[in-house]
Protein backbone atom coordinates (compact mmCIF):
# COMPACT_ATOMS: atom_id res chain seq x y z
CA UNK A 1 0.00 0.00 0.00
CA UNK A 2 1.35 3.43 -0.90
CA UNK A 3 2.16 6.29 1.45
CA UNK A 4 -0.76 8.24 0.00
CA UNK A 5 -3.18 5.37 0.65
CA UNK A 6 -2.09 5.16 4.29
CA UNK A 7 -2.30 8.94 4.67
CA UNK A 8 -5.90 8.70 3.47
CA UNK A 9 -6.70 5.88 5.92
CA UNK A 10 -5.26 7.86 8.82
CA UNK A 11 -6.78 11.24 7.85
CA UNK A 12 -9.89 10.97 10.04
CA UNK A 13 -10.16 11.98 13.69
CA UNK A 14 -10.67 8.37 14.74
CA UNK A 15 -7.74 5.99 14.89
CA UNK A 16 -7.97 3.50 12.03
CA UNK A 17 -6.52 0.61 14.05
CA UNK A 18 -7.87 1.89 17.37
CA UNK A 19 -5.82 3.08 20.34
CA UNK A 20 -5.62 -0.10 22.40
CA UNK A 21 -2.33 -2.00 22.04
CA UNK A 22 -2.38 -5.27 20.16
CA UNK A 23 -2.92 -8.26 22.45
CA UNK A 24 0.35 -9.82 21.27
CA UNK A 25 2.35 -6.81 22.46
CA UNK A 26 0.38 -6.49 25.68
CA UNK A 27 0.91 -10.17 26.50
CA UNK A 28 4.62 -10.45 25.69
CA UNK A 29 6.37 -7.06 25.87
CA UNK A 30 6.98 -7.54 29.59
CA UNK A 31 9.34 -10.44 28.77
CA UNK A 32 11.82 -7.98 27.25
CA UNK A 33 14.34 -6.09 29.34
CA UNK A 34 13.63 -2.36 29.45
CA UNK A 35 15.71 -0.44 26.93
CA UNK A 36 15.41 0.57 23.29
CA UNK A 37 12.28 -0.62 21.47
CA UNK A 38 11.70 -0.36 17.72
CA UNK A 39 8.23 -0.46 16.12
CA UNK A 40 8.53 -1.04 12.37
CA UNK A 41 5.49 0.26 10.49
CA UNK A 42 3.95 1.74 13.63
CA UNK A 43 0.87 3.20 11.91
CA UNK A 44 -0.80 5.68 14.28
CA UNK A 45 1.32 4.48 17.17
CA UNK A 46 -1.00 2.38 19.31
CA UNK A 47 1.74 -0.14 20.20
CA UNK A 48 4.57 2.40 20.25
CA UNK A 49 2.70 4.53 22.78
CA UNK A 50 1.91 1.50 24.92
CA UNK A 51 5.59 0.53 24.98
CA UNK A 52 6.53 4.09 25.97
CA UNK A 53 4.01 3.85 28.81
CA UNK A 54 5.83 0.71 29.96
CA UNK A 55 9.08 2.75 30.16
CA UNK A 56 10.75 1.58 26.95
CA UNK A 57 12.65 4.17 24.91
CA UNK A 58 10.65 3.83 21.71
CA UNK A 59 11.45 4.57 18.09
CA UNK A 60 8.58 4.20 15.63
CA UNK A 61 9.26 3.95 11.89
CA UNK A 62 6.36 4.94 9.63
CA UNK A 63 6.21 6.37 6.10
CA UNK A 64 2.80 8.01 6.58
CA UNK A 65 3.27 11.56 7.85
CA UNK A 66 -0.38 11.56 8.94
CA UNK A 67 0.19 8.47 11.05
CA UNK A 68 3.24 10.06 12.67
CA UNK A 69 1.36 13.27 13.44
CA UNK A 70 -1.47 11.38 15.13
CA UNK A 71 0.99 9.33 17.15
CA UNK A 72 2.89 12.41 18.31
CA UNK A 73 -0.28 14.29 19.23
CA UNK A 74 -1.63 11.39 21.28
CA UNK A 75 1.74 10.71 22.92
CA UNK A 76 1.92 14.36 23.98
CA UNK A 77 -1.58 14.21 25.46
CA UNK A 78 -0.59 11.09 27.42
CA UNK A 79 2.72 12.54 28.57
CA UNK A 80 5.02 9.99 26.93
CA UNK A 81 7.71 10.26 24.29
CA UNK A 82 7.94 8.33 21.02
CA UNK A 83 10.83 9.10 18.69
CA UNK A 84 9.37 8.91 15.19
CA UNK A 85 11.18 8.33 11.90
CA UNK A 86 9.31 9.20 8.69
CA UNK A 87 10.75 6.50 6.44
CA UNK A 88 9.82 3.32 4.59
CA UNK A 89 10.87 0.36 6.75
CA UNK A 90 12.73 -1.08 3.75
CA UNK A 91 15.01 1.96 3.79
CA UNK A 92 15.52 2.14 7.55
CA UNK A 93 18.91 0.94 8.74
CA UNK A 94 18.54 -1.11 11.94
CA UNK A 95 21.59 -0.57 14.15
CA UNK A 96 23.27 -3.81 15.18
CA UNK A 97 22.84 -5.02 18.75
CA UNK A 98 20.83 -1.97 19.85
CA UNK A 99 17.31 -3.09 20.68
CA UNK A 100 15.72 -4.91 23.61
CA UNK A 101 12.50 -5.27 21.60
CA UNK A 102 11.62 -5.06 17.91
CA UNK A 103 7.99 -5.14 16.84
CA UNK A 104 6.46 -5.77 13.43
CA UNK A 105 2.71 -6.05 13.82
CA UNK A 106 1.13 -7.01 10.48
CA UNK A 107 3.69 -5.01 8.53
CA UNK A 108 5.23 -7.73 6.36
CA UNK A 109 2.09 -8.11 4.25
CA UNK A 110 2.68 -4.66 2.74
CA UNK A 111 6.05 -5.56 1.18
CA UNK A 112 7.21 -8.46 -0.96
CA UNK A 113 8.29 -11.61 0.84
CA UNK A 114 11.85 -11.27 -0.46
CA UNK A 115 11.93 -7.74 0.99
CA UNK A 116 10.49 -9.08 4.26
CA UNK A 117 13.25 -11.68 4.42
CA UNK A 118 15.86 -8.94 4.01
CA UNK A 119 14.24 -6.83 6.77
CA UNK A 120 14.08 -9.87 9.07
CA UNK A 121 17.85 -10.32 8.76
CA UNK A 122 18.29 -6.74 9.96
CA UNK A 123 15.94 -7.40 12.85
CA UNK A 124 17.90 -10.43 14.02
CA UNK A 125 21.19 -8.51 13.96
CA UNK A 126 19.54 -5.46 15.57
CA UNK A 127 18.56 -7.30 18.75
CA UNK A 128 20.70 -7.18 21.87
CA UNK A 129 21.47 -10.45 23.61
CA UNK A 130 18.22 -11.35 25.35
CA UNK A 131 16.28 -9.04 23.01
CA UNK A 132 12.86 -10.03 21.68
CA UNK A 133 11.17 -9.84 18.32
CA UNK A 134 7.37 -9.77 18.36
CA UNK A 135 5.90 -10.41 14.91
CA UNK A 136 2.59 -11.12 13.21
CA UNK A 137 1.69 -11.76 9.56
CA UNK A 138 -1.31 -12.84 7.51
CA UNK A 139 -1.27 -16.45 6.33
CA UNK A 140 -2.53 -18.52 3.41
CA UNK A 141 -5.62 -19.21 5.54
CA UNK A 142 -6.68 -15.58 5.07
CA UNK A 143 -9.70 -15.59 2.70
CA UNK A 144 -8.12 -12.91 0.52
CA UNK A 145 -5.22 -15.20 -0.35
CA UNK A 146 -7.52 -17.44 -2.39
CA UNK A 147 -9.20 -14.43 -3.98
CA UNK A 148 -5.90 -12.82 -5.01
CA UNK A 149 -4.54 -16.15 -6.23
CA UNK A 150 -7.38 -16.39 -8.75
CA UNK A 151 -7.62 -12.77 -9.88
CA UNK A 152 -4.29 -10.94 -9.50
CA UNK A 153 -0.67 -11.16 -10.58
CA UNK A 154 1.55 -13.21 -8.27
CA UNK A 155 4.99 -11.55 -8.21
CA UNK A 156 6.54 -14.33 -6.13
CA UNK A 157 4.96 -17.15 -4.11
CA UNK A 158 2.42 -15.52 -1.80
CA UNK A 159 3.08 -11.93 -2.95
CA UNK A 160 0.51 -10.25 -5.21
CA UNK A 161 0.39 -7.05 -7.25
CA UNK A 162 -3.11 -5.60 -6.90
CA UNK A 163 -4.96 -3.46 -9.43
CA UNK A 164 -4.40 -0.44 -7.16
CA UNK A 165 -0.66 -0.90 -7.60
CA UNK A 166 -0.11 -2.01 -4.02
CA UNK A 167 1.75 -5.16 -3.05
CA UNK A 168 0.23 -7.65 -0.60
CA UNK A 169 1.85 -10.76 0.87
CA UNK A 170 0.60 -13.86 2.69
CA UNK A 171 2.71 -16.46 4.47
CA UNK A 172 2.70 -20.24 4.31
CA UNK A 173 2.54 -22.55 7.31
CA UNK A 174 5.61 -22.00 9.54
CA UNK A 175 7.18 -19.57 7.05
CA UNK A 176 7.53 -16.88 9.69
CA UNK A 177 9.51 -19.37 11.78
CA UNK A 178 12.07 -19.67 8.99
CA UNK A 179 12.60 -15.89 8.92
CA UNK A 180 13.65 -15.91 12.58
CA UNK A 181 15.29 -19.34 12.74
CA UNK A 182 18.52 -17.96 14.29
CA UNK A 183 16.52 -16.92 17.39
CA UNK A 184 15.17 -19.01 20.26
CA UNK A 185 11.43 -19.47 19.82
CA UNK A 186 9.29 -18.52 22.82
CA UNK A 187 5.82 -18.52 21.27
CA UNK A 188 4.22 -19.35 17.94
CA UNK A 189 0.61 -19.78 16.86
CA UNK A 190 -1.59 -19.65 13.77
CA UNK A 191 -5.31 -18.95 13.91
CA UNK A 192 -8.26 -17.24 12.22
CA UNK A 193 -10.02 -14.23 13.69
CA UNK A 194 -12.89 -11.88 12.89
CA UNK A 195 -11.88 -8.23 12.53
CA UNK A 196 -13.83 -4.96 12.36
CA UNK A 197 -11.11 -2.29 12.19
CA UNK A 198 -11.35 1.00 10.30
CA UNK A 199 -15.15 1.12 10.37
CA UNK A 200 -15.35 -1.71 7.85
CA UNK A 201 -17.90 -4.48 7.95
CA UNK A 202 -16.54 -7.54 9.72
CA UNK A 203 -14.11 -9.78 7.88
CA UNK A 204 -11.88 -12.77 8.60
CA UNK A 205 -8.09 -12.95 8.72
CA UNK A 206 -5.67 -15.85 8.96
CA UNK A 207 -2.74 -14.82 11.13
CA UNK A 208 0.55 -16.19 12.45
CA UNK A 209 2.17 -14.76 15.58
CA UNK A 210 5.72 -15.23 16.82
CA UNK A 211 7.83 -14.20 19.80
CA UNK A 212 11.53 -15.10 19.72
CA UNK A 213 14.68 -14.15 21.62
CA UNK A 214 18.29 -13.55 20.64
CA UNK A 215 20.48 -15.69 22.89
Q: What is the CATH number of the domain that holds 175?
A: 3.40.50.150
Total number of domains in the chain:
1
Nearest to 190 by CA among 149, 140, 121: 140
Strands of 36-40's sheet in order across? 82-85, 57-61, 36-40, 99-105, 127-138, 203-213, 184-195
72's CB contacts (< 8 A; 6+ apart) are: 45, 82, 84
Residue count of the chain, please give it. 215
Q: Which SS3 state, helix, strand or coil, does residue 100 take?
A: strand
pLDDT band (50, 70, 90) for residue 17: low
Region 165-177: mean pLDDT is 94
SS3 133: strand
Looking at residues 53-62, what average pLDDT do you find? 98
Average pLDDT across the chain, whole number:
92
Cβ burial 11-35 (10 Å sphere, 16+ → b, else e): eeeebbbeeebbebbeebbeebeee
Q: What pTM, to 2 d.p., does this model score?
A: 0.91
What is the extent of the structural domain holding 12?
3-213
Amino acid sequence: MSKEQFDQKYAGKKFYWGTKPSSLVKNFASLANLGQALDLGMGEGRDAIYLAQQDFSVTGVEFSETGIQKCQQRAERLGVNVNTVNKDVRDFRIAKGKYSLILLNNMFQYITKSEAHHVSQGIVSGLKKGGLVIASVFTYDDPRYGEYKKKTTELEPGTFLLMSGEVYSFYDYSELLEFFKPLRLLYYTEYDYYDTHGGKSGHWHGVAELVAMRT
